[in-house]
Structure 1
């Protein structure tokens, strides 16, 4: 018998968890550091999924992106 607990998490479910965690952040974060934080918290997500989710949040006006030209790193901040 297959139960919900046994089913692999969908991409939508992973994105939902990424968003929930992102909106609780107190300071801007870059995608790689955020991905490492999620991995340390036990979430099984790819760096690409994290980056794409943060980009979508920016495109839809839920986040702001700033870029440090010296390090060439983009930082995301929830709005």
Structure 2
């Protein structure tokens, strides 16, 4: 698997971070023949012996601690960037 971390700092432009991350994910998908359905948040992997079992990560793309509309919107960005690669 390939992991991508989105780091933020004070004064960060979240939209720019999301766009850069979507572009990077698309390039990695193309290079490694990874389908969009395999692009998953950190939440995807359960943490053994932890409560909650799934990490709320990336928190700004989760809806009430779970993948939902915000995550789907991000995947749409990734897919858009992927299609632009041709």
TM-score of Structure 1 vs Structure 2, range by shorter chain: 0.3 to 0.5
Alignment TM-score, normalising by the size of structure 2: 0.41
More strand per residue: 1
